[in-house]
Each structure stands twice: as C-alpha cells, then as structure tokens.
Structure 1
Amino acid sequence: MNRLPSWVRQHLAALRALLVLTVVTGIIYPLAATGVAQALFHDQANGSMVATGQGSTLIGQSFTDADGNPVRKYFQSRPSAAGDGYDPTSTAASNLGPEDVLDTPDRPSLLTQVCARSTAVGELEGVSGARPFCTPDGVGAVLKVFPGHAVSVNQACPATPFIPTYQGLTVQCAQPGQDYTAGRTVPIRGDAKAVVPADAVTASGSGLDPHVSVAYAELQAPRVAKERGLALDRVKALIDEHTTGRALGFMGEPAVNVLELNLALDRP
C-alpha cells in the first residue's frame, strides 16, 4: 500500500470515509431514529392519522360540499393558501403582506380577501362580518385620491362607493380598465369593530394548520348546535375537550383541533 502513489492513497481514504459515513448516516442512524420514534411516538410517527381514516390531526381540511359551501353541521377550518387548500405537496402562505390593499384584474388584494371572508363568516354565523378597512359589500376600503376627486378603487362601477366624500372630494366608483396608479393610496379604517376572529379570515404560514382559535370555535358553536339539535352547552363542552393549551405552558394560544372536534360530534 505504501508503494501506491499519494493521490491513489488519498482517493482510497476518501472512498473508505464515504462508505463508512453512508452506512452510519444512511442506514444505522435512520433505522435507529425510526425505531425510537415507533416505540415512543407511534401515533405521531405514522402521521397522526385518525382511526376512521378521514385525515390527519396534523393537517387541516375543508368541511364543505361539492360546490365549496360550508357544511353547516360541521365546524369550519381556518382558510388555507396551500394549493387548492390544505395540500401537503404545496404547503405555503400567500406571501401577501399588509400593504397589499389594491385589487388587480388578476386577483383580489389580501385586504379584499380578508374582507370577503369576514363577510361570508358573518353571514354563516349570523353575526356582523364588518371589520376595519372593509366596505359593507366586503372589499378593501381603499381610495385613490386625485386633486379634484377620489376613487374607491376596489369597488367597480356601478357599485356605490362606501363613503360619498373624502376631505371635501366626491368619491367615485372605479371604472373597469381605468389606470389609477397616479393617485395617492388612502386606506380608510372606518369605525367598525371586528366580531369575526382573525384566524377565520387569514391563512396560516404553512396553509396546513389543523386548529382554530377558541374564539372562532365558540363563534361557530351556536350554528353547529342548532344544525345538530344539540344543547349549546354540550357543544361547548366538546370544544373544551378538544382544546390544547399553550406549548410548554406559555408559548402561543390555546387552540381547537377541528377534525377531532367534528369527529367527536359525529360519534353516536
């Protein structure tokens, strides 16, 4: 071996290191980690699938009919921006921020998405869907201000602008195809107080969140109780049973697993 050229010895040493590391990190370690996970965390290691095979407690899902309408007897999940919704192969957020307030021909702004969701949730739950920076018809309350007039840019004509005037200027509806980029962008907060919780109108960062806030679950409880002919106290007790506390006792907020809660409701 000592008679081999140094470059050959170096390549043989590298090959031995590659083989050893492949066995250790590619075979022994994965088998050991898998064995420990199966022994100590069997349910979680296998995807936390529910016994009925209706999904995983780790991944949210829709409780809607074939037309995408909420099934009224079920608690509804948080919105999702992952693919067509809760798609593990497309987990993602919308990447839209709080400054995304102007609708375009290609898509509604984040603000209008939030406003539309709040309006829809309000109608479903029988409460006010109004919230700050939203018009009564569920779009972003945003003006483009020019020297002689203002335009409610997210309300296409013939819609009636959400306010008639702004600082002495007449507010007009937006003419489709008109370019309003030169105007000054002014979101209007209004005096509405949000009843619909934030997690009912915004998607999570992963798009797969299986939980909703306790506030959103309690907002839905009267509807679910009525649709199922159950006492409201019974439905609220089930919410309590499927509420998880803060991580390590201090991180995050208590949350309700929607799939587990709906399955509990379906049990005889």
Structure 2
Amino acid sequence: MLAQIRPAIVMIVLLTLLTGLAYPLAITAIAQLAFPDEANGSLVERKGVIVGSRLIGQNFAAAHYFHGRPSATSAPDPNDAGKTIDAPYNAANSAGSNLGPTSKKLVDRVNAAIEAEFAAGRIDVVAADAVTTSASGLDPHISPQFALAQVPAVAAARRLPEPRVRALVEAHIEQRFAGFIGEPRVNVLALNLALDELH
C-alpha cells in the first residue's frame, strides 16, 4: 500500500510546486520584464498621486467631465448584509447585469438612462454605450460617437469653445488594434485628464 501512496504524494507535491509556485513566479517575472506598466495595473499618476488606471473605468458625475458608460457593479448594503446596492465602477465586484433583452428591469433602466442623458443635455443622439453596461461593469472606454455627443455639454460647463473640446476628443480616439481588432474607442480617464490640462 505504501508503494502506491508514496508516488501519489510525490506527484501532488511536485505538481503543487510546479503549478502553484514555479509557474506563477515565472509568469510574474516575465510580465514584469516584458510589460511592467501593464503588470502593475496600468496606473495613471499626476503630480505624484495615482488618479486611476487606464484599464478600469471611474464614475465621473460632474457636468464638466466626460461620462463613461453605465456600470452595473454592486456592493453589500451596509444596512443589510444579505442585500446589495448599486456601486458604479466597484472594481472589487466586477460583473455585468446579466439581464436579458426581454427583461423589464433592463428596459426600464435603459429608458431612464436615455431620459437622463437628454435631460442633462449631454447627448443629442443616443449611442448604445451611453445607456448600456459592459460585461465587466468597469469598461474604461466609450465610443467616439458617445464622446463627441457629450462635447456641447462639457464645453458649456467648462466655458470652452466647442471646436477646442471636439479637437481634444478626436485626438484621444484610439484606433483598432492592428487595424482590425476591436473598435475605435476613447479612454475616459485620459480624456478627462487632458481636459483638466486645458486650463
């Protein structure tokens, strides 16, 4: 019996050391050498202070900032641990809404988002990402259409000429990777930081 148990124990120890220790350490070392910025979270720093990450969206609520797409992330309710509350861009709880296209809750939420965008004067044409959440709830990008639709409201809130703000948006449009992967997009954090630098 010992002859059968010993090889099993040796294999468990070896595989644990290989896959649980050696492999993660090797991949971490390779990532730190080849892609140090990405491996450390693609953090954005201004004046010695970390203001965010290029990979995780933030909840910009002020009228003088460009807004990201809605976020469906949540957090535990401080008043009742068995329930959750909306917590936009909660990186500790990345998730989509998982609501199907026939869900009344989804339709009501999208309609409310459309009305809010029109009421705030941020858009005149509704881009899909202006009223729908991403799968992670943390998408840091918006479509150029959504960014350009927000130009009049942001320019008015900042008392800047619209052409100047529009040119800033156009300068921040990231094209498809390798010319065919993904869609053109605008990183909201990078755009808002550039907007702050205009003053």
Deviates more, 1:118-127 or 1:206-215: 118-127
Shift of residue 42, structure 1, vs aligned partner: 0.8
CA deviations over 1:55-111 (Å, ceiling 9, x no partner): 1111111112xxxxxx1110011000011111122211112122123xxxxxxx211
2:7 to 9, 13, 20: 13
CA–CA distance in structure 2, aligned partners of residues 58 and 40 of structure 1 = 18
One-letter amino acid of the structure 2 residue matched with residue 59 of structure 1: I
The reply on whether 1:211 has 2:144 as its aligned counterpart is no
TM-fit CA distance, 1:251: 3.0
The partner residue of 2:130 within 168, 183, 200 is 200
Q: Distance in 2 between matches of 1:100 and 1:19?
A: 49
Structure 1 residues 88, 126: CA separation in 2 closer, same or farther (over 3 Å shift)?
Answer: closer
Pick from 69, 84, 101 the counterpart of residue 78 of structure 1.
69
Q: Which ranges of structure 2 fall in alignment gaps of 5 or more residues?
A: 75-86
Q: Which residue of 2 aligns with 1:56?
A: 53
Shift of 1:240: 2.5
Structure 1 unmatched ranges of 5 or more: 1-6, 65-70, 102-108, 129-194
Work out the CA distance in 1 between the residues paired with 2:97 and 2:45: 32
Rg comparison, structure with higher value: 1
Q: CA offsets per residue over residues 105-147 of structure 1, 9 Å max, x none?
A: xxxx21121111111101212655xxxxxxxxxxxxxxxxxxx
Residue 114 (str. 1) matches residue 110 (str. 2): yes
Cross-structure match for 2:79 = none
Q: CA–CA distance in 1 between the matches of 2:163 and 2:26?
A: 47
Structure with bigger helix share is 2
Equivalent residue number for residue 120 of structure 2: 124
Question: TM-score of the superposition, structure 1-length normalised?
Answer: 0.64
- The verdict on how the C-alpha distance between 1:36 and 1:127 changes in structure 2, with shifts beyond 3 A counting, is closer
- In structure 2, the residue matched to 1:188 is none
Q: SS of the counterpart of 2:52?
A: coil
Count, aligned residues: 183
RMSD of equivalent CA atoms? 1.7
Are residue 247 (structure 1) and residue 186 (structure 2) matched?
Answer: no
TM-score scaled by length of structure 2: 0.85
Identity %: 48
Q: Is it true that 1:265 corresponds to 2:195 in the alignment? A: yes
